[in-house]
Every structure is written in structure tokens, then in C-alpha cells.
Structure 1
Amino acid sequence: MEQSATVDIAVPPEQVWEVLSDVESWSGWTPTVTSVHRLDDGPLRLHSRARIRQPRLPETEYVVTELEPGRSFTWVATGPGVVTTARHDAEPLAGGGTRVRLSVTQSGWLGSLMGRFYRGLTDRYLANEADGLKVRCEQQR
């Protein structure tokens, strides 16, 4: 089950990427993240790991499985019967801005059940994250 939110941001993808890839700062621009603690150093890269705390959800460790610097990253968390895949895409717009798409997919033998159980919460979180990212990026220009 995939859920997503899309937002257009009036800054170039490079500026969006600076905010989006600085995962430890997420709690400063979205109420859906209490904290992010990187488990490695340096810029976000393939196999980077982070522990995330979010309201109403258990603490979760994510591992970056795909990364295109300046454009997108995907990270995955696994739990008993559930695999959560979160993708973050920043695509340039013709007018100089950026279209961001945030998506979450639940899979595994419990994935569809968990996806349905958390559907409303996930929709709200994705919308809040997209809106918060837009505000943060556009304030910094």
C-alpha cells in the first residue's frame, strides 16, 4: 500500500536537497518528527542509517537503500512482518522551482494490515511534512 504527498516549492532542487538531506534537522520544520539521530557521520549516502522518533509511532531505524544526490533518496525500515519504504523525490520545475513527492509504502505479510491501520495518520504526516518542507525552504531563500 503506497501513500504520497506532492508539493511545489519556489526554490531550486539544490536548496530543497540541502534541507531534505539534513535529516537530523527535520524536527525543526515538521511536527511529525520528534527526533532523528544519524548512526553514521558525513553527508547522507547509500547505507546511511538513522533512528527516527515520531509521535504515536514506535522508534524506527531506517537504512538508505537508494540515493541520487541532489534529487532523491529512499530509506527502508524493517520490523516483524512489515517493511516500510519511504521515498523522497525532488524534481526541477520549468519555472525554476522544485516538485517534491514524499511517499511511504508498507509491505510484508503484515504490511497491508498496518498500512490500513495507519492510513489516516500516514496521510496527515505526509501532508504535514510536505507543507513544512515548503515553508522551511521558501523561508531560507
Structure 2
Amino acid sequence: MFAFATALLAALPLAFGSSGPAPVGIDEKAPVISRDDIVIHAPLDRVWRIQTDVEGWPAWQPGVSSSVKRTPGPLRPGSSWVWSTEGLEDITSTVEQVRPKRRIVWGGPAQGITAVHVWTFTPVKGGVHVRTEESWSGAPVDADTAYLQKALDASLDAWLHHLKQRAEQRHPKSPCGERA
């Protein structure tokens, strides 16, 4: 059951809002909110590239079996991709806001849950402080808030640690053979 909730979480990096100058944020009134952060000892360019290369996720994110961009070029408001994780297939996520190498918010509802997922990247001495926060609301969340809170907390922690591991590799390679 935890694997399903983790998969559901991985399928829900979602957001809603404008692409204007005001930051898009999580739903502070949602019954499930998780925040986590990590310092990654790697250049900001590398961390950003790995996280926003959605087609490369299957190479470093266990459970993500496929991810295909629908919109060419760098991620920007309106960019979307279709991906599969942990048995959930054909998930469509859409970028709502991007501040290159600083912040990205993406979204799209799944399985009756509305989520908002925000990533923030801040340069620090020796690396990058990566912060992620996500909110979930909807009938499935109301039905089992405690369980889904634990699942969301665990999933964000795992995602950050996998990102850290990938970015801190001495010579990480992208799926197409380029150095990351």
C-alpha cells in the first residue's frame, strides 16, 4: 500500500496559478502539506538541468518508468509531459511557473487529488539548497489524511535524496550519453 501512495505522490507534482511575477505557491489550507529540503554539493546548473530534464527522470528516479515531453525546448509555463510511475500511467503534468535556476512549479490533477508542487533552488557555499513543498487536497486525501501525509513526506524525502545522489556523482551522464 505504501508503494501505491508513493507512486501516487510521484504522479502528483502539480500546481495551479499564474506565470506572472507573483510566486505560485502551495495550497496552505490543504489537509496534507509536506516541506523538505536538502543541500546538494554540485553546481546549480547541474542540479537544475537534472531536475528539469523530465525525460531523464527514469535514469535516476526509481519508479519513474517513462517520461516524454509534449512541448519541445526548456520547461516554461504551459510546457507539459506525460509520464508513468509505480503503475500509474499517462500522467500529464503542466508547468505553471518557471524562474530559471531558481524556481519551478508544475501541475495537473490525478486520482481525485489536487496537488501543488513547488521547487526552489538557492545557491549556497559549496552547492545548492533545494527546497520542495507540496500540498494535496481532494476526497482521497480527506478519506485518509494521516496515511497520505506520511506517504507524501516519504516521497519528497526520497526524491530529494535521489536528486542529490545523481547531481553529486563525479561524472553523471544523461540518458543520451552527455555529461550532466
| 1:68 corresponds to 2:78 | no
- Aligned to 1:34, what secondary structure does the other structure show? strand
Candidates 125, 137, 140, aligned match of 2:167: 137
Greater percentage in strand: 1
What is the Cα-based RMSD across aligned positions, in Å?
Answer: 2.2
Unaligned runs of 5+ in 2: 1-31, 172-180
Deviation of 1:80 after TM superposition, in Å, equals 6.7
1:11 and 1:96 in contact (8 A); partners too:
yes
For 1:9, the equivalent position in structure 2 comes to 40
For 2:130, the equivalent position in structure 1 comes to 100
Candidates 111, 116, 120, aligned match of 1:89: 120
Matching residue's letter, 1:37: V
Q: How does 1:37-52 map to 2 (within 5 A)?
A: 37-52=68-83
For 1:77, the equivalent position in structure 2 comes to 108
Rounded Cα–Cα distance in structure 2 between residues aligned with 1:77 and 1:116: 23
Identity across matched positions, percent: 26
- Aligned to 2:108, what secondary structure does the other structure show? strand
Q: 1:59 to 1:119 in 2, by over 3 A?
A: farther
1:106 and 1:112 in contact (8 A); partners too:
no
Matching residue's letter, 2:51: L
Deviation of 1:75 after TM superposition, in Å, equals 0.6
- Aligned to 1:78, what secondary structure does the other structure show? coil
1:32 and 1:125 in contact (8 A); partners too:
no
For 1:124, the equivalent position in structure 2 comes to 154
Candidates 74, 86, 107, aligned match of 1:55: 86
- Aligned to 2:109, what secondary structure does the other structure show? strand
Aligned length, in residue pairs: 140
